[in-house]
């Protein structure tokens, strides 16, 4: 029970690694505020967590809207009196999510805006909303989800996504600097391909496979735990060797 009575906010919690992390946190005693734009899926998954003995609240959040993010942070403090962990999972490659296959120089500006807003600004907004509480209570952990694409760059269809995920690394270092005097840590986890959807299986890695979601979540949970108390400001790459280079 590494996270007994810890209070965690998870963005992008209706599916994928955000949901899996929320489930594992509650299994180990955390009280979790699940946030996502998809309120129906979010509510159903929260109910499943409660049926399994976990404690979960639901707050609908569009990460492009700061007032909704602040409402989630305020809800955590009003209900539980603290915010111990923030996990920024919300995001996605804008071309895939918005069904736009145009190369970057032909991509509609509104698609570019969506990608920057969801993949970078949403995490910035969430950090802004929780940092004051963490500083006041003199403890906290922020985990930002990056991507190997933020390190190796992206082709015509992933310029925006790569730029946003590179920004996540800078955000993490900045939060680590801001939080260090107050025992607030920040780390970035940058996965390669993860089997949260079938298409990921086709992305090459040196180990010849994509990661299982649990493999990434195990790393995230370690970084959230007290065993990682001396770790802050770092970007943890979990990509099966993809970023070593030389992949065709």
CB 23, CB 54: distance < 8 Å: yes
What 3-state DSSP class applies to 197? coil
Closest C-alpha among 174, 22, 36 to residue 85? 22
Alpha-carbon gap, residue 55 to 202, rounded angstroms: 37
DSSP string for 42-90: HHHHHHHHHHTT-EEEEEE--TT-HHHHHHHHHHHHHHHS---EEEE--
DSSP 236: E
Alpha-carbon gap, residue 231 to 185, rounded angstroms: 7
Closest C-alpha among 36, 147, 157 to residue 99? 157
CB 48, CB 19: distance < 8 Å: no
227: buried, middle or exposed (CB in 10 Å: 19+, 13-18, 0-12)? exposed
Q: Residue 182 catalytic?
A: no
DSSP 238: E
Alpha-carbon gap, residue 244 to 110, rounded angstroms: 34
Q: Please give the radius of gyration of the chain, using alpha carbons only, rounded to the nearest integer.
A: 17
Catalytic annotation, pick one of 66, 80, 125, 161 = 161
Q: Which are the catalytic amino acids?
A: 161
């Amino acid at each position: 029970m590494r996270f007994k009575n810890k209070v965690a906010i998870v963005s992008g919690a209706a599916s994928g690694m955000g949901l899996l992390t929320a489930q594992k946190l509650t299994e180990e005693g955390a009280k979790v505020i699940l946030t996502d734009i998809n309120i129906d899926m979010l509510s159903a998954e929260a109910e499943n967590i409660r049926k399994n003995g976990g404690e979960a609240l639901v707050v609908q959040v569009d990460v492009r809207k700061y007032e909704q993010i602040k409402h989630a942070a305020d809800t955590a403090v009003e209900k539980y009196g603290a915010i111990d962990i923030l996990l920024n999972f919300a995001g996605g490659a804008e071309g895939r999510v918005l069904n736009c296959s145009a190369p970057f120089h032909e991509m509609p500006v509104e698609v570019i805006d969506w990608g920057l807003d969801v993949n970078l600004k949403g995490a910035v907004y969430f950090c802004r909303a929780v940092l004051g509480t963490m500083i006041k209570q003199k403890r906290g952990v922020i985990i930002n989800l990056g991507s190997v694409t933020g390190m190796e760059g992206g082709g015509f269809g992933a310029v925006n996504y790569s730029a946003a995920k590179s920004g996540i690394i800078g955000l993490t270092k900045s939060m680590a600097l801001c939080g260090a005097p107050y025992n607030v840590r920040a780390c970035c986890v940058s996965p390669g391909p993860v089997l949260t959807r079938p298409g990921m299986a086709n992305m090459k890695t040196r180990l010849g496979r994509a990661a299982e979601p649990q493999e990434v979540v195990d790393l995230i949970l370690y970084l959230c735990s007290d065993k990682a108390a001396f770790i802050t400001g770092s970007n943890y790459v979990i990509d099966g060797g993809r970023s070593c280079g030389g992949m065709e």
